[in-house]
């Protein structure tokens, strides 16, 4: 993979065709970008292709991003070049500064603001495909639109519907990826997902550590798993659990220690929390009886895997829970307005929120519980223990989540659409794969 530095003379031949995947945050990278890139690589980057192709990843500015997504994607080895979000505007102004681009290509929107991919496709002179989970906002400037389901398709103006195709839910393929040889040790496993952004970790880490201690006291058979987000480090978890985070002092777990082999956090009460450092963690998550999670793309991942969950938004820390998207979220993070505007904004969003978890939004009903308010670890531990003691109720939630999931095959269908937009020379014989 080429470095994302201003480009100097490069003797490497420029590929004939480029496929540029555009995305934003860690959830979209794991659940959309990676499986699509892997499929494209298997299907198109083959000796049978009559043209040389290359995959590129462009990350776009987004309040839901961490700024470290490019580091998370680099070890995958899937991309010719990765452009970080903080270089996006430079890329639009002077694309050649970061390396040569093929003369022909396709830009594929897989997360963020759809307008950024419209701009990029126009700047590069490439064709454009949008994956629309709920709505395609700029159909006029899309050559093709891959919609998740009938709901998104129905929201397209009639004149643009001929450009669309229902491909299904990219999340639906996660269950296939989860079938791997990575069994967890026996036990009643509960997953803890505190988030990936600093604002969420600041609250989520101490809150969930105390919750784990209290739940372990109620149900000693419980075992705990914490999948590390690809943009987070173990050091960041420890920092948010300690004195560097003033919120941590309001919770009773105390500062955990890292186990000698580095694979677990151990709280002062003796609760052991296994760390899953590999990403994505679908194989181990799919084996959990339940998950305690913040809002975000992780709720869609858990739903696709059929993992029952409680979705937690502790509103007693509104001044740091300003991880909203859009212009309002940007204003809430400005130094002079951050505290006052952020609190007002968050209170308004919570009062007019509708549903926050992805499966609830999709179903337009409460499939999984959302606990929004000045909740405490004691309350959440007690509720989690009640759910775990009621396997029939848990199975009912699991069945509801499975019923929301579309048929597998969306990744393959999206890849087919990308191939249709490529120049004829880039086509390959279609094997069953």
370-401 pLDDT per residue, tens: 998 889 999 999 999 999 999 999 999 999 99
Region(s) of the chain under CATH 3.40.50.2000: 17-168+409-426, 188-404
> What pLDDT, in 10s, does the model give residues 282-296?
889 999 999 999 988
- Does residue 92 surpass a pLDDT of 80? yes
Please indicate whether residue 320 or residue 377 has the higher confidence score (pLDDT).
377
Q: What is the pLDDT of residue 128?
A: 97
> What pLDDT, in 10s, does the model give residues 40-91?
998 887 776 656 899 999 999 887 677 888 888 999 899 999 999 999 999 9
- Does residue 354 surpass a pLDDT of 80? no
Structure tokens at 55: 């995959």
Helix (H, G, I), strand (E, B) or coil at 321: coil
**Residue appearing with tokens 């784990």:** 212
**Fold classified for 188-404:** Rossmann fold (3.40.50)
Exposed / middle / buried, residue 265 (Cβ in 10 Å: 0-12, 13-18, 19+): buried
Q: What is the pLDDT of residue 318?
A: 59
**Residue appearing with tokens 């890329």:** 91
Give CA–CA dist 411/433, Å, rounded: 12
Q: Say if residue 280 is preceded by a cis peptide, omega within 30 of 0.
A: yes
- Read out DSSP for 241-302? HSTTSGGGGGSSS---EE-TTSSEEE-TT--EEEEE-SSS-HHHHTT-SEEEE-SSHHHHHH
- Tell me the CATH architecture of domain 17-168+409-426: 3-Layer(aba) Sandwich (3.40)
pLDDT level of residue 361 (50, 70, 90 thresholds): confident
Average pLDDT (171-199) is 80
Average pLDDT (237-259) is 93
> In terms of residues, how long is the chain?
433
> What pLDDT, in 10s, does the model give residues 188-202?
999 999 988 888 899
Q: H-helix or E-strand containing 119? A: helix 114-124
Helix (H, G, I), strand (E, B) or coil at 113: coil
Taking CA atoms, 83 is separated from 12, 129, 282, 368, 380, in Å, by: 18, 19, 26, 36, 40
pLDDT level of residue 331 (50, 70, 90 thresholds): very low
**Percentage, residues of the chain above pLDDT 90:** 56
- Does residue 429 surpass a pLDDT of 50? no
């Amino acid at each position: 993979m080429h470095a994302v530095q201003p480009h100097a003379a490069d003797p490497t031949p420029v590929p004939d065709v480029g496929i540029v995947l555009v995305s934003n945050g860690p959830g979209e990278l794991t659940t959309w970008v990676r499986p699509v890139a892997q499929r494209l690589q298997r299907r198109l980057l083959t000796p049978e292709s009559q043209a040389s192709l290359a995959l590129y990843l462009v990350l776009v500015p987004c309040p839901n991003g961490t700024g470290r997504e490019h580091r998370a994607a680099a070890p995958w080895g899937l991309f010719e070049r990765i452009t970080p979000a903080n270089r996006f505007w430079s890329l639009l102004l002077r694309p050649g500064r970061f390396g040569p681009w093929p003369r022909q290509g396709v830009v594929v929107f897989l997360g963020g603001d759809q307008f950024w991919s419209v701009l990029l496709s126009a700047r590069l002179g490439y064709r454009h495909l949008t994956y629309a989970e709920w709505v395609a906002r700029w159909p006029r400037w899309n050559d093709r639109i891959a919609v998740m389901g009938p709901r998104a398709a129905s929201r397209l103006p009639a004149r643009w519907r001929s450009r669309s195709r229902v491909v299904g839910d990219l999340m639906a393929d996660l269950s296939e990826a989860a079938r791997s040889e990575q069994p967890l040790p026996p036990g009643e496993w509960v997953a803890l997902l505190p988030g990936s952004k600093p604002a969420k970790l600041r609250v989520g880490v101490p809150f969930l550590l105390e919750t784990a201690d209290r739940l372990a006291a109620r149900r000693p058979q419980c075992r705990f798993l914490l999948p590390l987000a690809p943009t987070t480090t173990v050091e960041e978890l420890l920092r948010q659990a300690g004195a560097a985070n003033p919120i941590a002092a309001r919770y009773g777990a105390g500062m955990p220690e890292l186990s000698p082999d580095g694979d677990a956090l151990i709280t002062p009460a003796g609760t052991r929390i296994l760390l899953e450092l590999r990403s994505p963690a679908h194989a181990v998550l799919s084996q959990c009886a339940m998950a305690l999670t913040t809002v975000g793309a992780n709720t869609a991942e858990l739903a696709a895997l059929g993992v029952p969950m409680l979705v937690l938004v502790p509103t007693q820390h509104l001044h740091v829970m300003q991880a909203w998207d859009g212009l309002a979220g940007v204003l809430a993070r400005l130094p002079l307005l951050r505290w006052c505007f952020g609190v007002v904004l968050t209170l308004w969003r919570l009062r007019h929120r509708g549903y926050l978890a992805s499966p609830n939004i999709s179903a337009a009903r409460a499939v999984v519980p959302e606990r929004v308010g000045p909740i405490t670890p004691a309350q959440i531990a007690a509720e989690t223990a009640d759910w775990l003691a009621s396997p029939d109720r848990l199975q009912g939630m699991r069945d509801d989540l499975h019923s929301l999931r579309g048929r597998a095959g969306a990744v393959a269908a999206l890849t087919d659409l990308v191939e249709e937009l490529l120049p004829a020379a880039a086509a390959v014989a279609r094997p069953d794969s």
